[in-house]
Chains A and B, each alone.
Chain A
């Protein structure tokens, strides 16, 4: 008969399991306390004072947004209101959004609220990916606002007969099956004009979130040739 060893003692393993689980859980909770403040939405004051937030305030819709390679971080970052000398957001250059660049914090928040609710009420995530999460039946929407297809050189403004990006997007969202681009079409989801404006604000806001460089090279490569 072998003598009892601690390695074959159930209580030892039970206690180890409890300790390891407890330790991992506490670490996760601690990291959560660190992460949540970092991804809490910024304010209008932050934007005006040039404070970079991972998730900027809703009034970011008043600014021009681009997605630029950052030398220090070795990946692309959203650049709000033009680039400064360090290659980050200058928070200066504005851009009209549905004809205005002076959306107040209250108005912008309301628009974003409508858009985010709309994105859930219409089950966007069950065809598209948002921040890369969701279904894979339709294009990723993380940086959709910056997609060249909707820009002045893209085809979508001409197809929808609109002269700005936001109006083209809003028109498409309301009557998607009128503007088919591929055999696979977006269905009509009963999106109203107001909801469409909210959804476009939601998309513009999402493109300003710092996603650590996801997606890579977005809109930078035209044509299907790898840079080699």
Chain B
């Protein structure tokens, strides 16, 4: 059995472009998510745009999935990517929460 699946680990030539584009989009959508979130918090954008930020986060996750499956990643790498995706989701929340706290303490 091992003998027959051995070569399928190769990335197919026609998959490379999709891999590169999806991994670029991972960070671009990720950047949009963080950017829109921040912009709403500092009142550069209206409040109702916030759901768009989360849509971008979902797109980030989707692109990560596409990239990972075409690359034939192993289970460990898959877990690492999920951790990174949730790290990205929490990151701006944590940043905003802490910045807000410090600004409040420093105002007086």
Q: Which residues of A contact B (CB under 8 A)?
A: 1-2, 4-5, 7-8, 69, 71-72, 74-75, 216-217, 226-228
- Given contact pairs A4-B105, A74-B9, a sample of 14 additional A-B residue pairs in the complex whose CB atoms are under 8 Å apart: A2-B105, A5-B101, A7-B97, A7-B98, A8-B98, A8-B101, A8-B102, A8-B105, A71-B2, A75-B9, A216-B10, A227-B7, A228-B12, A228-B13
A-facing mask of B1-18, CB < 8 A → 1, else 0? 011001101101100000
Q: B108 contacts which chain A residues (CB < 8 A)?
A: 1
Q: B102 contacts which chain A residues (CB < 8 A)?
A: 8
- Contact (Cβ within 8 A) A71 B6: yes
Q: How far is the CA of A227 from the CA of B13 in the complex (A)?
A: 9
Q: How far is the CA of A228 from the CA of B13 in the complex (A)?
A: 9
Known: A7-B97, A71-B3. A1 touches B105 (CB 8 A): yes
Count B interface residues, CB 8 Å: 15
Give the Cβ gap from A216 to chain B, nearest Cβ, in Å. Answer: 7
Question: Quick one: closest B residue to A75, CB to CB?
Answer: B9
Q: A75 contacts which chain B residues (CB < 8 A)?
A: 9
Pick from B6, B10, B105: contact of A217, CB below 8 A.
B10
**What are 26 contact pairs spanning A and B, CB under 8 A?**
A1-B105, A1-B108, A2-B101, A2-B104, A2-B105, A4-B105, A5-B101, A7-B97, A7-B101, A8-B98, A8-B101, A8-B102, A8-B105, A69-B7, A71-B2, A71-B3, A71-B6, A72-B2, A74-B6, A74-B9, A75-B9, A216-B10, A217-B10, A226-B12, A226-B13, A227-B7
Q: B9 contacts which chain A residues (CB < 8 A)?
A: 74-75
* Residue from the set A5, A8, A69, A226 with the largest chain B CB neighbour count within 10 Å: A8
Give the Cβ gap from B67 to chain A, nearest Cβ, in Å. Answer: 19
Question: Quick one: closest A residue to B107, CB to CB?
Answer: A1
CB within 8 Å of A: which of B57-106? 97-98, 101-102, 104-105
Question: Quick one: closest B residue to A213, CB to CB?
Answer: B9
Q: How far is the CA of A226 from the CA of B13 in the complex (A)?
A: 7
Q: B12 contacts which chain A residues (CB < 8 A)?
A: 226, 228
Q: A72 contacts which chain B residues (CB < 8 A)?
A: 2
Q: How far is the CA of A74 from the CA of B8 in the complex (A)?
A: 10
